[in-house]
Amino acid sequence: MNSPDTRIDPTAESIRAASCADDYDPNSMPVDKARAFIDRFVAPVAETQRLPLRAALGHVLAEDIVSPFDVPLADNSAMDGYALRHAEVDGRDGVTLKVVGTAFAGRTYAGAIGPGECLRIMTGGVVPAGLDCVVPQEHTRPGDGVVTFGAGIRHAQNVRYAGEDMRRDAVVLRRGQWLRPAETGLLASLGIGEVTVFRRLRVAFFSTGDELVSIGGTLGEGQVYDSNRYTIHGMLTRMGIDLIDMGVVRDDPATLEAQFAQAARAADVVITSGGVSVGEADFIKQMLERLGEVVFWKIAMKPGRPLAYGKIGGAHFFGLPGNPVSVMVTFYQFVREPLWKMMGRDPLPLLPVFKATCTTALKKAPGRTEFQRGVLSASADGGWQVRPTGEQGSGILSSMVQANCFIVMPEAQGNVAPGALVEVQMLEGLI
């Protein structure tokens, strides 16, 4: 465990002071303003670690990577064929050259190649200095120790030049880069077997509510299984985060306080679901005010109105609403980017957002941002069309299963007529 102030930027301003200084209404907080507020307090973790390449997959690079040599190292052939001097065939059809030897993949042909001569070469074979194009073998007529070429040969064709992928001493990956298979492959192509990455982020989470039953228990009337534990687990796991799953915590002040304190000691970030809505917030509010600095908002959005954000000890705290759809929507809109930022990712991944034709009418009241669950598909005219999944209640988790996108309706927007363009945010880009 780390001491709190090495985990999170210790210079950050007071959340409570900032929330008082800002000219917003905590009972109707615009989505963008809440996101900008949280962003001010979030910084990358300080600690880094050296990891072997395979283990580094899914981590964020904490150093710039400079290419130690040209990639490829030498000019080489992109085809199986013949390497020659372009000037010898220049536009003419039926030129015959003598074949003096062969360069296999990764090999250099040691001999000299004089006028009237060419070299048989395999893909990856080194193109000797002086030769400047490769003609694929299927465009030639081989003879006895000679080969005849057709017309239309271009200078430099099928030659892969030294350094055309990466130049020696060039920065080829930057600090902040999330390491995907392409990046680990590229590092391997430079012979780099170990890199410095930001350490993994630790997130503790629990569900609150007396009505919740864990899987394995039997549901009584009015009780529900704790599904948020699984959606939050899934969303965090897919980001490559270390989890501390604290299960269900009863709506009991002493137990909750102990769990909040323990979570904040163990993790960089604490996420809870439930307990921040109007009826429940009061005692939690008082408790969190004792434990740290937390602001409680009603976000001008649907679903997912209540949201709490703050610091408990050195840990960031996100108090998400309890409704299962609200949990996912608020996680994606308010938690995901701060987590990436704490993980060191720079630039932050953009959410693919684009316009699509809405095939049905949508009811929408101005004054709040709505995230309806939608199904996006190709339309007959070659564009994209979207329809809502159906019932949009914040407890209808099956809407998240059916959806492949959010239909995002900005604050000022009113009802949507069939055929109008709406903004769409892909779920695939979120996870």
The contact set with ligand AMP (CB under 6 A) reads: 207, 209, 211-212, 224, 226-229, 273-275, 277, 280, 321-324
**What residue number has its CB nearest to ligand AMP?**
322
Closer by beta carbon to Mg ion, 212 or else 267: 212
From the CB of 276, what's the least distance to Mg ion, in Å? Answer: 9
x/- letters, 161..200, toward Mg ion (CB under 5 A): ----------------------------------------
Closer by beta carbon to ligand AMP, 103 or else 308: 308
- For position 274 contacting Mg ion by CB under 5 A, the verdict is yes
From the CB of 225, what's the least distance to ligand AMP, in Å? Answer: 7
From the CB of 337, what's the least distance to ligand AMP, in Å? Answer: 23
| Cα–Cα distance, 318 to 295 (Å, whole number) | 10
Q: Which two tokens stand for residue 169?
A: 């001493």
Say how many residues touch Mg ion, by CB under 5 A. 4
From the CB of 373, what's the least distance to ligand AMP, in Å? Answer: 17
Closer by beta carbon to ligand AMP, 283 or else 384: 283
From the CB of 27, what's the least distance to ligand AMP, in Å? Answer: 16
From the CB of 278, what's the least distance to ligand AMP, in Å? Answer: 9
- The one of ligand AMP, Mg ion, none whose footprint includes residue 321, by CB under 5 to 8 A per kind, is ligand AMP
- The one of Mg ion, ligand AMP, none whose footprint includes residue 242, by CB under 5 to 8 A per kind, is none
Closer by beta carbon to ligand AMP, 206 or else 406: 206
Closer by beta carbon to ligand AMP, 324 or else 344: 324
Tell how far CA 51 is from the center of its chain: 20
Closer by beta carbon to ligand AMP, 44 or else 274: 274
| Cα–Cα distance, 34 to 330 (Å, whole number) | 11
Residue 146 · residue 98 · CB < 8 Å:
yes
Site for Mg ion in 310-339 (CB under 5 A): 322
From the CB of 318, what's the least distance to ligand AMP, in Å? Answer: 14
Closer by beta carbon to Mg ion, 177 or else 208: 208
From the CB of 29, what's the least distance to ligand AMP, in Å? Answer: 17
Site for Mg ion in 194-213 (CB under 5 A): 209
Closer by beta carbon to ligand AMP, 310 or else 321: 321
- Give the HSE-up count for residue 322: Cα atoms under 13 Å, Cβ half-sphere: 20
- The one of ligand AMP, Mg ion, none whose footprint includes residue 313, by CB under 5 to 8 A per kind, is none
Closer by beta carbon to ligand AMP, 259 or else 323: 323
* Among 155-163, 240-248, 268-276, 297-305, the segment contacting Mg ion (CB under 5 A): 268-276
Query: Per residue, what are the HEC states of the chain?
Result: CCCHHHHCCCCCCCHHHHHHHCCCCCCCECHHHHHHHHHHCCCCCCCEEEEEHHHHCCCEECCCEECCCCECCCCEECCCEEEECHHHHCCCCCEEEEEEEEECCCCCCCCCCCCCEEEEECCCCECCCCCCEEEEHHHEEECCCEEEECCCCCCCCCEECCCCCECCCCEEECCCCECCHHHHHHHHHCCCCEEEEECCCEEEEEEECCCEECECECCCCCCEECCHHHHHHHHHHCCCCEEEEEEEECCCHHHHHHHHHHHHHHCCEEEEECCCCHHHHHHHHHHHHHHEEEEEEEECEECCCEEEEEEECCEEEEEECCCHHHHHHHHHHHHHHHHHHHCCCCCCCCCCEEEEEECCCECCCCCCEEEEEEEEEECCCCCEEEEECCCCCCCCCHHHHHCCEEEEECCCCCCECCCCEEEEEECCCCC
From the CB of 274, what's the least distance to ligand AMP, in Å? Answer: 3
Residues of the shown chain interacting with Mg ion in the complex, contacts defined by CB under 5 A: 209, 274-275, 322
